[in-house]
């Protein structure tokens, strides 16, 4: 979907196969890097849970500034207290890793030379579509807590750290892809002659 974003074919007239391959790997490839990061933190949790708990104290304070974690972490502490430090560290480092990875890829998109071959007839509709997409996944990552508060399945399944981490990886991947696709679209939009003359 990030090759055709907001109804626009982003690769139109683009012949740089090296860039296309890198872009495909960034937005379409499986999130193996995120999974490996989570596995390494899980390994640290198994080997030395106390060290991870100490490390999570400061990270938890940072995360609670975000509404999602302000509700999720206390909820997890009640239902799965042993998983709080694990989920805190995984969430923090996933967010940081994805942020830096996306920023570096944006810098790559900005700096690489490429042709402007995309005309946009209805820019307002395109902007609205992109804004809605980015807002949805931004909200799911930073604002909207996932657990269904209560008892039963929400405690045993929806509320455990592994389930929450799975969806955090998915949402971060989608947000990163949406931001990258937006940057590529902005880079490749071609102004019409009348727009150039009006300037």
Is it the case that residue 127 has pLDDT exceeding 90? no
Percent of the chain beyond pLDDT 90? 34
Q: Do the Cβ atoms of 41 and 93 come closer than 8 Å?
A: yes
Q: What is the pLDDT of residue 152?
A: 45
Helix or strand (DSSP H, E) at 4: strand 4-5
CA–CA separation, 123 vs 184, rounded Å?
A: 15
Residue 60 lies in a domain: yes
Please check whether residue 186 lies inside any domain of the structure: yes
In a domain, 172, yes or no: yes
CB 80 within 8 A of CB 160: yes
| CA–CA gap between residue 188 and residue 35 (Å, rounded) | 32
Q: Is residue 193 scored above 80 in pLDDT?
A: no
Residue 199 lies in a domain: no
> Can you give the pLDDT at residue 194?
42
The number of distinct structural domains making up the chain is 1
In a domain? residue 108: yes
Taking residue 132's Cβ as centre, other Cβ atoms within 10 Å add up to 10
pLDDT for residue 195: 46
Tell me: the pLDDT tens digits for 130-148? 899 999 999 999 998 876 5
Inside any domain, residue 90:
yes
Chain position carrying tokens 């042993």 = 82
pTM over 0.75: yes
Arithmetic mean of pLDDT, 112-139: 84
**Does 153 have pLDDT greater than 60?**
no
When mean pLDDT is compared over 7-11, 28-32, 58-62, 153-157, the highest value belongs to 58-62
User: What digits encode the pLDDT tens for the residues 74-110?
Assistant: 888 887 888 899 999 999 999 999 999 999 999 998 8
Residue 197: pLDDT band (50, 70, 90) is very low
Mean pLDDT of 172-186: 91
Q: Are 181 and 27 in contact (CB under 8 A)?
A: yes
Q: How far apart are CA 37 and CA 93, in angstroms?
A: 8
User: Under 8 Å CB-to-CB from 43, ≥6 apart: which residues?
Assistant: none
Q: Which domain holds residue 63?
A: 4-191
Give the pLDDT band (50/70/90) at residue 5: confident
- Give 34-41's long-range contacts (Cβ < 8 A, gap of 24+): 34/94, 34/97, 34/98, 34/169, 34/172, 34/173, 35/169, 37/90, 37/93, 37/94, 37/97, 38/90, 38/94, 38/165, 38/169, 41/86, 41/89, 41/90, 41/93
With respect to residue 147, please indicate whether it lies within any of the assigned structural domains: yes
- Return d(Cα 174, Cα 2) in angstroms, integer: 9
Residue 84 domain-assigned (yes or no) = yes
pLDDT digits (tens, 9 = 90+) for 8-34: 777 777 777 888 888 888 888 788 999
Per-residue pLDDT of 29-56, as tens digits, reads: 788 999 999 999 999 888 888 888 888 8
- 3-class secondary-structure state, position 180: helix
């Amino acid at each position: 979907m990030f090759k055709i974003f907001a109804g626009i074919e982003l690769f139109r007239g683009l012949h740089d196969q090296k860039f296309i391959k890198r872009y495909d790997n960034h937005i379409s490839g499986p999130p193996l890097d995120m999974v490996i990061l989570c596995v390494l933190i899980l390994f640290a949790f198994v080997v030395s849970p106390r060290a991870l708990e100490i490390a999570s104290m400061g990270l938890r304070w940072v995360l609670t500034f975000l509404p999602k974690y302000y509700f999720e972490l206390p909820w997890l502490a009640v239902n799965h207290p042993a998983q709080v430090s694990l989920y805190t560290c995984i969430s923090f480092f996933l967010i940081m890793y994805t942020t830096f990875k996306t920023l570096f890829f944006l810098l790559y998109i900005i700096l690489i030379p490429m042709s402007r071959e995309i005309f946009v007839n209805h820019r307002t509709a395109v902007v609205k579509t992109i804004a809605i997409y980015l807002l949805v996944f931004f909200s799911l990552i930073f604002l909207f807590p996932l657990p269904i508060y209560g008892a039963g399945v929400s405690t045993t399944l929806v509320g455990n750290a592994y389930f929450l981490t799975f969806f955090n990886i998915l949402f971060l991947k989608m947000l990163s892809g949406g931001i990258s696709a937006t940057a590529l679209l902005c880079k490749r939009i071609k102004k019409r002659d009348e727009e150039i003359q009006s300037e």
